[in-house]
Amino acid sequence: MNKNVTNEIEVNDYDDSFTQDAPKKDKKGHGIRTAVIIILCALLLIAAGVITVAVLAFQTPNSDKFGASPDNGAIMNVIYAAIKDEDAEITNTELNSLLTYFIKGDKDDDVKPLSENSRIKDAAIYIHKDKPSELYAMVEINNHTFEISAELNIEPEIIKNEFKLTVTSAKIGNLPIAPDLLMNYAFSDDISNGISDYIRRDGNDLYIKSRYQYEIMGQTIKFSVKSFEPLKDGIKLKTTSAADILLGSISSWLSSFFQ
């Protein structure tokens, strides 16, 4: 009698399917968990990025640049210089007071505030000779006020009755942005309303008119800036002389009289 018959059982007689399915299930579950973790990490990174952008954009690191008292003294300086046929020097303080004068208005001089028709609520410019000049503005966007800043290169040469400024860098709050994005927004209709007659844009370049004309007592007064030079803390410019303004006014008056 063979005692080993009962012990010799073929291995294939066992159903060992569990030894093959278990690893497949483990791999599938592990893949799903990995995908979920990757998605959650990506969402967290996006959320962190959005929060960081928002925090940087809402900051006002240059609030001390604003707050100039409205005053048109810079205009008087130019007029006096024109009468004497001399260069007029305007400091950044005087220039910013003039900007505030036009943006916020002046009841005594019956000057309506630009800020009523534009999203620009305040602005300041600091012109320098040996480093980039700076431009700052407080702009209202969707009922929130943001600080926008930019660095400018100013070319003193006047070509075709225009000054040329080039925006080299820009920020919203502390958030750096591409200059062209700032320019696209700054020259949208609801932002540039009120200034587009004096400034035109070409890419990241700004061209500011150097020749102006006004109607005073029914007569056209023509006025232009002949030369422009950045100073350490402001600008020096030469304008149309008082004699030229007077002769132009007389010519305009005579033309209208004999029509």
* Euclidean distance between CA atoms 44 and 97, whole angstroms: 46
Q: Is residue 164 helix, strand or coil?
A: strand
pLDDT of residue 217: 57
Same-domain status, 213 and 136 = yes
pLDDT of residue 151: 95
DSSP conformation class of 258: -
Q: Kindly tell me if the per-residue pLDDT of 147 is higher than 70.
A: yes
Q: Name the least confident of 145-159, 179-193, 205-219, 237-251.
A: 237-251
Which of 78, 77, 128, 120 shows the shortest CA–CA distance to 99? 120
pLDDT of residue 102: 85
More confident residue, 168 or 82: 168
**Of 58, 81, 111, which one is at a domain's C-terminal end?**
58
Encoded tokens for 71: 């005053």
Same-domain status, 53 and 72 = no
| Count of structural domains, the chain | 2
Q: Residue 243's pLDDT band (boundaries 50, 70, 90)?
A: low
List, as one string, the DSSP characters of 51-89.
HHHHHHHH--TTGGG--PPP--HHHHHHHHHHHHT--EE
- Using the structure block, give the residue that is written with the tokens 């018959």: 5
Same-domain status, 133 and 164 = yes
Q: Kindly tell me if the per-residue pLDDT of 11 is higher than 60.
A: no
Same-domain status, 95 and 140 = yes
pLDDT of residue 233: 92
pLDDT of residue 242: 64
Going by C-beta distance under 8 Å and a sequence separation of 6 or more, which residues neighbour residue 240?
82, 222, 223, 224, 225, 226, 248
Which of 74, 68, 73, 76 shows the shortest CA–CA distance to 90? 74
pLDDT per residue over 36-55, tens digit each?
777 777 777 776 666 766 66
pLDDT of residue 18: 46
* Euclidean distance between CA atoms 130 and 52, whole angstroms: 34
pLDDT per residue over 163-195, tens digit each?
899 999 999 989 899 998 888 877 775 555 556
Same-domain status, 210 and 251 = yes
Q: Is residue 71 part of a domain?
A: yes
pLDDT of residue 55: 64
Q: Is residue 194 helix, strand or coil?
A: coil
pLDDT of residue 196: 63
CA 29 from centre of chain: 51
Same-domain status, 141 and 118 = yes
* Euclidean distance between CA atoms 164 and 160, whole angstroms: 10
Q: What percent of the chain has pLDDT over 70?
A: 70
Same-domain status, 111 and 179 = yes
Q: Is residue 11 part of a domain?
A: no
More confident residue, 161 or 51: 161
In angstroms, what CA-CA distances link 203 with 120, 166, 211?
21, 9, 22
Same-domain status, 30 and 157 = no
Same-domain status, 92 and 110 = yes
Same-domain status, 201 and 244 = yes
Name the residue range of residue 48's domain. Answer: 19-58
Q: Is residue 9 part of a domain?
A: no
Q: Residue 125's pLDDT band (boundaries 50, 70, 90)?
A: very high
Q: Is residue 14 part of a domain?
A: no
Same-domain status, 54 and 92 = no
Q: Is residue 117 part of a domain?
A: yes
Q: Kindly tell me if the per-residue pLDDT of 256 is higher than 60.
A: no
Q: Kindly tell me if the per-residue pLDDT of 61 is higher than 60.
A: yes
Q: Environment class of residue 244 by beta-carbon count within 10 Å: exposed (0-12), middle (13-18) or buried (19+)?
A: middle
Q: Is residue 98 part of a domain?
A: yes
Predicted TM-score of the model (pTM): 0.71
Same-domain status, 113 and 226 = yes
Q: Is residue 95 part of a domain?
A: yes
Q: Kindly tell me if the per-residue pLDDT of 9 is higher than 60.
A: no
Q: Which helix (H) or strand (E) is 214 found in, with range?
A: strand 211-216
